[in-house]
Structure 1
Amino acid sequence: MPYTTEEGGRLNNFAREPKIYQAEPPDAGQQKSYFILGIAAIALVGALVFVAFSVSHIS
């Protein structure tokens, strides 16, 4: 663990910093996967809303 000494002889313990890297934009295959997952999520939410309204209107 990295320790530093401050004024008056106090020790400070700092967390180890993670390695920094630059994010890369998604390639064409990843963009296609994100699009398909987005459509699937919208369909799932739409189906859940439809089921909720169907069940709530049953008398």
Structure 2
Amino acid sequence: MYTTTDERGILNNYAVEPQMYLADYPAPEQQERYKLQAAIATLLVGALVLVSLAVS
């Protein structure tokens, strides 16, 4: 950990920053899984909106 001390003796700690890297493009099977998750989420939100409208 990188630490500095000012003239009054107060410590200032800096966190260790992780090494940066570029993300990989998702594989085709991951893309299909994302599409399925999006479809399920859309249906869930749509059903919740319809139920809230029906209840009110």
Aligned length: 54
Unaligned stretches of 5+ in structure 1? none
Match of 1:28 in 2: 28
Higher strand share: 2
Q: TM-score, normalised by structure 2?
A: 0.76
Question: Residues of 2 paired with 1:51 and 1:3: CA distance?
Answer: 56
Match of 1:38 in 2: 38
Higher helix share: 1
Percentage of identical aligned residues: 46
Deviations 1:6-39 (A, max 9, x none): 8x7x875422110211100101010000000000
Larger Rg: 1
What's the RMSD between the two structures over aligned residues?
Answer: 1.9
